[in-house]
Amino acid sequence: MSADLSSGLNATVATPAPVSDSGLSAAPEPVPAAGHEPSPETAPSHATTGAQEPPAIEVRGLRRVYKVKPKPVVALDGIDLDVASGEFFGLLGPNGAGKTTLIKILTTLLLPSEGTAKVFGFDVEHETAQIRRIMNMVAGGEQSGYGILVVREQLWMFTQFYGMSNKDGWRRTDELIEAVGLQEQKHQRVSTLSTGQRQKMNLARGLLNDPWILFLDEPTLGLDVAAARSMRELIVEWKAAVPGRTVLLTTHYMAEADELCERIAIVDHGKILAIGSPEALKRRVQRESIFRVELDQLEGGAAMLSKLPGVVSASAAAGAEGSEVSDRQVVVINLVLEDDSALGDVVGALAARGSQILGLRKSEPTLEDVFVELVGRGFEEGEPSEQVTG
Amino acid sequence: MTAGAATTGREAGVSSRGRISDLVRSFTVAARLGWALEANWTDPLLFFIYSVAKPLSSALILVFMLEVIGGPAGRSLRPFVVVGSALWTFVVSGISGLAWAILEDRERYRVLKYVYVSPSDFLVVLMGRGVARVAVGLAGVVITLLVGVTVLGVTFDLATVDWGLLAISTVFGLVSIVALGILMAGICIQTRQESWSYPEAFAGALFLITGAVFPLIVLPVVIQPIGLLMPLTWWIAGVRQSLFPGGVDSIGGPGSAFESIFGHAHPGTGEIALALLVTSAVVTLAALAVFRWSDRRAKQAGLYDQTSGS
Amino acid sequence: MATMDFVGRAGKSPREAAQWSRRQVLMTDLRSIRGRAYPRWRGLFREKSWVLFEILLPFLGTSAFVFVYRALQAPVEYVGFAVLGGAMTAFWLNVIWMMANQLYWEKTQGNLELYFASPMHFMSILFGMAIGGIFMSSTRAVVVITAASLLYGVQFSVDQWAVLIVVFMLTLAALYGLGMVLASLFLVWGREAWHMGQLLTEPVYFVSGLNFPVARLGFLGAVSVALIPLATGLDAMRQLAFAGAAFPVGTPSPLVEIGILVLMSIVSIAAARWMLLAMERRARRDGRLSVRWQ
């Protein structure tokens, strides 16, 4: 990864501002229906209010119906959403959930059928010019551009669409080519780029105008592991480099949403099922902390641990008590704690009984577990939802 | 004959039949696809106008040119220009059909590479894809001729039609048009997305030297032999001769290159048929050679899955 | 990552950054024209088949009409008419295929939605396409006129060069304005636009009198002169380029036709601006900015 993304920064890469979960520790309610004010559970805890800067994204009662044959498709069915300035927000859902439709509305490419949507207070329907000046978008699998041009020319062309002078345009182009790691391909025709290279170029195009808000629609779609990782790192670095940069990411890769996003909205069939930080969402499924502990021995057995404060249950892992790993005895215990803070007492108790901890692994639910709980099916088991391209 | 040889012979027979059946199936599927693409998403009225308005307009341009200069005296030439113009619509459609199939499938639908790597013969599929446009062109020919006869005063007597010459001309004319389409398709594999106009430009150039709307004798003598080498020249002459026997000859005449080469002023029916056969064969072989060369070059350069807009 | 001053990020909020001055808007539009013309310009030098297929072969096609007139032993001015018509065809085809219909391709490639998501006016993109294609069209026109003059003995007799140039420029303005109007229709018509493009070739050639004086069409010719920039401009240019030649009466004088062209230019550009906004809104409503195979 190029270090040039960090060049020009005054500080090290900033970590995202932590999102307080205080409003999310209780049983989360579904997003309020259209027309209602967003509840504390769903609003960003550091959302601006009053006469301050408006939120980066504000959506109320958004509906979008595609009039297709044989019957209309409701792609968005009453979405309410707030994204604060400077937030890294994710839309997670299976194919056909409505993520791309929402992005297209926010990027002024599509009109809503009902409801309102605003980007930094500008209405997507009537103030498109203002929005287009401060945003940009990158989609996965994008094949835009002109095959006859080389990478450098392609990017320069887009700088002109944002009003940069000739000199500034070439300079900006060269900066971004270096930042995304396409120096060797800069004189290569766009039509000859590999998928990963093409997507890097697309990302560079999306950053040309230094947008206040960047919309990413499945940006790692079709990329191999290394290319996808590189893409994510670039995005994180870009966002962290300047305060106030906002990112809205849509994805159906749970790990990606988990890794990148401060808050996630889980979307299915045009509705938001839940919003929260990844941790808060997972806590819906599993409020306790579950650990798998490997010990060399345990006096008194697992039942002894159950009596410790903060321990909900402790049991030997099935078939694992007294098992052998290589040449030594291993005792494996499944430990369920009220929360992580109880682990300290457990470790102390184990040490007091002379047990040596050989391994400790926390078992966490995934966002798919969250989705399953919300919807009753996995991402891959989708009922044949009618998808509309565009 | 041994059992082994009999088996081999039977296998060879089955293999040939199977191969032919595969080719036929590829062609029919591609033709149905081509027809679905041509007829899909368009308003039927627009489609009808497209098959009528373009060829009729082309004919009317020439008819008016005759009127402007020749006045009533020019009307004797109307059959000549109406037939030539009507047939030229067919030429343009046929040549465009295969070339546009390449451009559409590569640039728009992005399926060209998948078609190419399928077991079906690429050229056969291409011909099937192009045949829809040939059919559209044929509709234009018929309509233009009908309008010529019913509205523009072109006299036509069914009893005097030379059906034999018409049949030969039609078959070999179609072969040569498809061959030229293959040639253009080979060229369009190498060119960029904006080459939609290339087939029409190519047809426009041929328009000059094939006696379509004026006799070859009008051209400089040094240019006329180029026209004589083109199968379209003989095809148009053959159709004219078969539909309007005794009309204006588009190929020969006193002082023409034809007379210099063959020793007499006007070609007979047999000469027209033979010349059409020979020139069609030559052009077909040349077109196939160009296509194969283009195919090899495209594979080397990776052109089958590149888009190339500007 | 370094920020750019033009964005004015330092000290500005997003709402401030979104408010551009008129100068910024104008410069963005002008630079966008340059940006969009660039791939066309580059393409000319990277893929040179257009020299044969866009210049030389069309010249041969025009020559066919020259020989029709020769076969009819027409006065030499008529050969000149056909040559001038052939030269202007280049610009008409540029408008139809390289501008209006081009949006069809831009949509399938995914460029259209990127253009609409960008801050410049969409007319800048269309202008850029037009300007990028004008080199090719102009080259074709020059080759046709020059070669025809040399090979076929066409004699131009121009008394009023300034007026001829004005007519030519106004014809281009009106043509390209019409092209933008058509482009806006093509935004919503999808694949039918392709067929409309085909319909705008031979039928327009006929009613515009591309190869013969449009006055010969009588009332239809008069209507064409009033409505089709190609007909108006071509008729005016013929009258100016062949001053003194015997002309069929029935069409206005060049000065009147200049007035018609001025009106056409203003109306078409104004209509294009309005229609592009209206069609964009409709395309956004129907979701047609990014749906393929429509």
The answer to whether the CB of A260 falls within 8 A of the CB of A227 is no
Q: Tell me the β-bridge partners of A311.
A: A337
Torsions phi, psi for A335 (to 5 deg): -115, 130
Check pLDDT > 90 for residue B26. no
Within 10 Å of residue A216's Cβ, how many Cβ atoms? 25
Q: Which residues from chain C sit within 8 angstroms of residue A163, using beta carbons? A: 6, 24, 27-28, 31-32, 119-120
A258 contacts: CB under 8 Å, gap ≥ 6: A264, A278, A366, A367
Q: What is the reported pLDDT for A23?
A: 26
Whole-angstrom distance, CA of residue C104 vs CA of residue A36: 42
Which range (B35-44, B80-89, B103-112, C147-156) has the least confidence?
B35-44
How far, in Å, CA of A58 to CA of A322, rounded? Answer: 57
Going from the C-alpha of A59 to that of each of A54, A246, A268, the distances in angstroms are 12, 16, 17
Question: Residue A38 pLDDT > 50, yes or no?
Answer: no
Q: Does the distance separating the beta carbons of B302 and A147 come in below 8 Å?
A: no
Q: Average pLDDT of A349-368? A: 87
Interatomic CA distance for residues A4 and A308, integer angstroms: 51
User: In chain A, what is the straight-line distance between the N-terminal and C-terminal CA atoms, in Å?
Assistant: 33
The reply to whether C42 touches chain B by the CB within 8 Å rule is yes
Pick from A12, A20, A87: which is nearest to A248 by CA?
A87
First to last CA, chain B: 64
pLDDT at position B105, please? 84
- The whole-number pLDDT of residue B40 equals 52
Angle of helix B122-150 relative to helix B78-103, nearest 10 degrees, comes to 150
CA distance A124 to C117: 11
The token duo for B154 is 């072109």
Provide the pLDDT confidence category of residue B2 given band limits of 50, 70 and 90: very low
Inter-chain CB proximity B310 and A148 less than 8 Å: yes
Q: What pLDDT is recorded for position A2?
A: 41
Give residues with Cβ within 8 angstroms of B171, minimum separation 6.
none
Interchain CB distance below 8 Å, C1 and A238: yes
Contact yes or no for A244/A212 (Cβ under 8 A): yes
Please write the tens of the pLDDT for every residue from A81-102: 999 999 999 999 888 899 999 9
CB atoms within 10 A of CB C284: 21
- Chain C residues in contact with A4 by the CB 8 A cut-off are 1
A83 with A89: CB under 8 angstroms? yes
Proportion of chain A above pLDDT 90, given as a percent? 49
pLDDT attached to residue B42: 57
Segment B139-181, tens digit of pLDDT? 888 889 999 989 888 888 889 999 999 999 999 999 999 999 9
Q: Specify the pLDDT at position A151.
A: 96
Residues ≥6 apart with Cβ < 8 Å to A178: A2, A4
Say which residue the tokens 């060399």 belong to: A296
Residue type, A113: S
* Concatenated DSSP letters of B178-243: HHHHHHHHHHHHHS-TTGGGHHHHHHHHHHHHTTSSS-GGGS-TTTHHHHHT-HHHHHHHHHHHHH
Single out the residue of A310, A264, A316, A259 nearest to residue A288, CA to CA.
A310
Contact predicate A57/A85, CB 8 Å: no
pLDDT value of position A167: 95
Instruction: Tell me if chain B has a CB within 8 Å of the CB of A147.
Output: yes
Cα separation, A264 vs A42, in Å, equals: 10
Please provide residue C5's backbone torsions phi and psi, each rounded to the nearest 5 degrees.
-60, -35
**pLDDT of A265 higher than 80:** yes
Evaluate if residue A195 carries a pLDDT over 60. yes
For residue B23, pLDDT beyond 80: yes
**Complex-level ipTM:** 0.88
Q: pLDDT per residue over A167-182, tens digit each? A: 999 999 999 999 999 9
Across the interface, do A148 and B307 touch by the CB < 8 Å criterion?
no
What's the pLDDT score for residue A302? 83
CA distance A345 to chain C (A): 46
Looking at chain C, which subunits does it touch, using at least 3 CB pairs closer than 8 Å as the criterion?
Answer: A, B
Give ∠ CA C188-C191-C192 in degrees, rounded to 5. Answer: 80
pLDDT at B46: 58
pLDDT at B43: 61
For B27-79, how does the pLDDT look when each residue is reduced to its tens digit (9 = 90+)? 888 888 887 776 654 567 656 766 788 888 888 888 888 887 777 767 778 88
Q: Are C36 and C132 in contact (CB under 8 A)?
A: yes
- The phi, psi pair for A154, rounded to 5°, reads -60, -50
**Pick among C114, C290, C293 to test the A interface (most A CBs inside 10 A):** C114
B264 is written with which tokens? 């007499």
Is the pLDDT reported for residue A208 higher than 70? yes
Q: Look at A251-260, A263-272, B175-184, C47-56 and tell me which has the smallest mean pLDDT.
A: C47-56
Please report the pLDDT score of residue A318 as a whole number: 66
Res B274: pLDDT:
95
- Helix/strand/coil for B80: helix
The answer, yes or no, to whether residue A142 has pLDDT greater than 60, is: yes
Q: Kindly tell me if the per-residue pLDDT of A381 is higher than 70.
A: no
Looking at residue A85, what is its pLDDT?
94
Say yes or no to pLDDT of B135 above 90: no
Which residue carries 């989708």 as its tokens? A382
Query: What integer best gives the mean pLDDT of chain A?
Result: 81
Question: Residue A326 — very low, low, confident or very high, per pLDDT cuts 50/70/90?
Answer: low
Model pLDDT, residue A201:
95
Token couple for B263: 């020793």
Contact between A222 and A140 under an 8 Å Cβ cutoff? The reply is: yes
Strand order, beta sheet including A213-217: A135-139, A213-217, A246-251, A88-92, A263-268, A271-276
Highest mean pLDDT among A79-88, B13-22, B128-137, C183-192: A79-88
Output the pTM of the full model.
0.80
Output the pLDDT for position B5: 46
Is the pLDDT confidence value at B115 over 90?
Answer: no
Residues 6+ apart with CB under 8 A from A233: A1
Residue A158 and residue A146: Cα distance in Å, rounded?
11
Long-range contacts formed by C123-127: CB under 8 A, 24+ apart: C123/C29, C123/C180, C123/C272, C123/C273, C123/C276, C124/C28, C124/C29, C124/C30, C124/C32, C124/C33, C124/C36, C125/C32, C125/C36, C126/C99, C126/C179, C126/C180, C126/C183, C126/C272, C127/C33, C127/C36, C127/C176
Mean local confidence (pLDDT), A355-371:
86
Structure tokens at A195: 């998928």
pLDDT at A15: 31
Residues A127-142 have a mean pLDDT of 93
Amino acid at A25: S
Top-confidence residue, C107 or B296: B296
Residue B156 has what pLDDT? 84
Which of chain A's residues have a Cβ under 8 Å away from the Cβ of B309? 146-148
Q: Name chain B contacts of A148, Cβ cutoff 8 Å.
A: 192, 308-310
**B42 Cβ under 8 Å from any chain A Cβ:** no
Structural domains of chain A in order of their starting residue, each with its CATH number:
2-283 (3.40.50.300), 288-363 (3.30.70)
Average of per-residue pLDDT across A322-335:
70
Among A61-70, B116-125, C15-24, which stretch is predicted with the lowest mean pLDDT? Answer: B116-125
Residues 6+ apart with CB under 8 A from B181: B94, B95, B96, B97, B98, B99, B127, B130, B199
pLDDT for position A39: 42
| Closest residue, chain C, to A105 (C-alpha) | C284
Lowest mean pLDDT among A45-49, A208-212, B274-278, C36-40: A45-49
Neighbours, chain A (3 or more CB pairs < 8 A)? B, C
Distance CA C207, CA C265 (A): 20
Are the C-beta atoms of residues C64 and B211 closer than 8 Å to each other? Answer: no
**Cis? peptide before A70, omega within 30° of 0:** yes
Q: Supply the pLDDT for residue C234.
A: 92
Q: Do A161 and C290 touch (CB under 8 A)?
A: no
Instruction: Give backbone dihedrals phi and psi of C11, rounded to 5 degrees, phi first.
Output: 75, 0
Q: Distance between CA B27 and CA B214 in Å, rounded?
A: 36
Distance CA B276, CA C30 (A): 56
Chain C CB contacts of B50 under 8 Å are 195, 198-199
Share the mean pLDDT of chain B.
85
List the pLDDT tens digit at each of the 294 positions of chain C.
443 333 445 557 899 999 999 999 999 999 999 999 999 899 888 888 888 888 888 899 899 999 988 888 888 888 888 999 999 998 998 888 888 878 877 887 789 999 999 999 999 999 998 888 888 899 999 999 999 889 998 888 888 999 999 999 999 999 999 999 888 887 777 666 777 777 788 888 988 888 888 888 888 888 888 899 999 999 999 999 988 766 666 788 899 999 999 999 999 999 999 999 998 898 899 887 775 444
Model pLDDT for residues A291-303, shown as the tens digit of each residue: 889 999 888 888 8
> Which chain C positions have a beta carbon within 8 Å of B215's beta carbon?
71
Question: Which stretches of chain A are assigned E, i.e. beta strand?
Answer: 57-66, 73-83, 88-92, 114-119, 122-123, 135-139, 213-217, 246-251, 263-268, 271-276, 289-295, 311-316, 323-325, 328-337, 357-363
